[in-house]
């Protein structure tokens, strides 16, 4: 019966899970932002509340990744974790029962075993939230490489950014020109990773809000934009869908997953799914795409359930 801990977001979430995936108990604690030592304390407190002194195995989903060999964290949007020896520090506090994986990998594992990806040979799990990430599961197992970077599509450049391509849209001429003009009005964006125009800077929740404010001078939260139906919000959303379709098409061209499951706060926008299914094929090499784009089944609990499954996956 492993314990799962998810460090993403404003809360650190924890569960105790049975081997069949049933959640036996759960708890959440506020994330101590910008305080590494307090983050360690919070994780230990959460584990203690869940394992009852039984020394259960612990799987932890983290933003970013642990650099192989060096055992230090990199690429975390929770930037106070970067450069820290998170796994060794937790092993000092909790023993050798701790394993870690990227939080998007944990989401992909959860949806592959318990959720929308169940029964598919390969699953690309996508996070569209405060950041953009991904994980790739093949025949029930996480795919990983020597650089611990599998699925980090959010830190590649946004495809075709600010390039005119009428043929790509194949829609009404006025709409082609409008979307093109809107995108050309956007300024380049520097990502927290130090690179320019990363997918995350446009497709995350903050990226969506920034696009809308840049175009219309209207500051709204991602949640407000998701619910809005006015003309300006509709145009922002349409541009977002094209950007997302272009970006996912590159994933299809490279690994051709059998299913793509969206997670994170923006995955709750229902009208995203039919729009994406229509658009992605326009950007794939073959000009068609049979890959289903599905909403998650596990909701906010997917990441933490996947973290618990890290032990079973190993």
In this predicted structure, the answer to whether residue 253 has a pLDDT above a threshold of 80 is yes
- 167 in the same domain as 79: no
Residues 34 and 129 in one domain: no
Token digits for 173? 């001429």
Tell me the per-residue pLDDT of 114-171, one tens digit each, with 9 for 90 and over: 899 999 999 999 999 988 999 999 999 998 888 878 889 999 999 988 755 445 444 4
Looking up residue 36, the CATH number of its domain turns out to be 3.30.420.40
Q: Are the C-beta atoms of 12 and 5 separated by less than 8 Å? A: yes
Average pLDDT of span 40-51: 93
In terms of C-beta distances under 8 Å and separation of at least 24 residues, what long-range contacts does 32-37 make, across chains too? 33/78, 33/80, 34/79, 34/80, 35/80, 36/80, 36/81, 36/84
Residue 286, domain member (yes or no): yes
Residue 286 shares a structural domain with residue 142: yes
289 has a pLDDT exceeding 90: yes
Residue 165 sits in the same domain as residue 177: yes
Candidate from 26-30, 179-183, 308-312 with smallest mean pLDDT: 308-312
Whether residue 144 is contained in a domain is answered as: yes
Q: Which residue, among 80, 129, 84, has the nearest Cα to 303 in the 3D structure?
A: 129
Q: Is 162 in the same domain as 80?
A: no
What pLDDT, on the 0 to 100 scale, is given for residue 130? 86
Specify if 262 maps to a domain: yes
Closest alpha carbon to 79 in 116, 45, 35, 118? 35
Same domain, 156 and 123: yes
Q: Does some domain include residue 85?
A: yes
Which has the higher per-residue pLDDT, 255 or 168? 255
Same domain, 141 and 215: yes
Q: What are phi and psi of 109, to 5 degrees?
A: -60, -45
Same domain, 205 and 264: yes
Q: What is the pLDDT of residue 304?
A: 87
Residue 145 lies in a domain: yes
Query: φ and ψ at 161, to 5 degrees?
Result: -55, 125
Q: Residue 168: its pLDDT value, please?
A: 47
* Rounded Cα–Cα distance for residues 135 and 117 (Å): 12
Q: Is residue 15 one of the residues assigned to a domain?
A: yes
| Stretch 216-234: mean pLDDT | 94
Range(s) of the domain holding residue 87: 3-109+300-313
Our separate counts of H helices and E strands in the chain read 11, 12
Same domain, 159 and 278: yes
According to the model, what pLDDT value does residue 247 have? 97
Query: pLDDT digit string (tens) for 257-275?
Result: 999 999 999 999 999 999 9
Say what the pLDDT of residue 314 is: 59
Q: How many domains does the chain have?
A: 2
Query: Facing residues of 27 across strands?
Result: 14
Q: Are residues 141 and 265 in the same domain?
A: yes
Instruction: Tell me: do 156 and 244 sit in the same domain.
Output: yes
Q: Which residue has the higher pLDDT, 180 or 243?
A: 243
Is the residue at 13 inside a domain? yes
Identify whether 114 is part of a domain.
no
Q: Is the pLDDT of residue 173 over 60?
A: no
Confidence of residue 313 (pLDDT cuts 50, 70, 90): low
Could you tell me if 178 and 200 lie in one domain? yes
């Amino acid at each position: 019966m492993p314990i799962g801990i998810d460090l993403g977001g404003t809360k650190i979430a924890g569960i105790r899970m049975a081997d069949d995936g049933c959640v036996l108990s759960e708890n959440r604690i506020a994330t101590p932002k910008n305080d590494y030592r307090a983050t360690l304390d919070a994780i230990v407190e959460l584990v203690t509340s869940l394992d009852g002194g039984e020394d259960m195995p612990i799987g932890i989903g983290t933003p970013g990744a642990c650099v192989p060999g060096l055992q230090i964290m990199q690429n975390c949007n929770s930037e106070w974790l970067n450069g820290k020896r998170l796994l060794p520090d937790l092993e000092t506090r909790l023993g050798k029962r701790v394993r870690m994986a990227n939080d998007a990998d944990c989401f992909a594992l959860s949806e592959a075993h318990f959720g929308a990806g169940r029964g598919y040979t390969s699953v690309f799990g996508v996070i569209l939230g405060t950041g953009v990430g991904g994980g790739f599961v093949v025949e029930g197992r996480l795919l990983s490489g020597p650089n611990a970077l599998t699925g980090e599509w959010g830190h590649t450049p946004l495809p075709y950014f600010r390039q005119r391509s009428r043929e790509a849209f194949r829609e009404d001429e006025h709409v082609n020109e409008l979307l093109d003009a809107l995108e050309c009005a956007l300024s380049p964006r520097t990502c927290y990773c130090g690179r320019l125009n990363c997918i995350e800077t446009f497709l995350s929740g903050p990226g969506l809000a920034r696009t809308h404010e840049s175009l219309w001078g209207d500051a709204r939260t991602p949640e407000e934009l998701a619910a809005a139906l006015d003309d300006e919000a509709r145009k922002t959303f349409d541009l977002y869908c094209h950007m997302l379709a272009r970006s996912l098409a590159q994933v299809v061209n490279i690994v051709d997953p059998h299913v793509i499951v969206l997670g994170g706060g923006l995955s709750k926008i229902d009208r995203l799914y039919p729009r994406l299914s229509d658009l992605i094929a326009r950007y794939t090499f073959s000009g068609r795409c049979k890959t289903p784009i599905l909403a998650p089944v596990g909701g906010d609990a997917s990441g933490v359930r996947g973290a618990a499954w890290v032990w079973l996956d190993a």
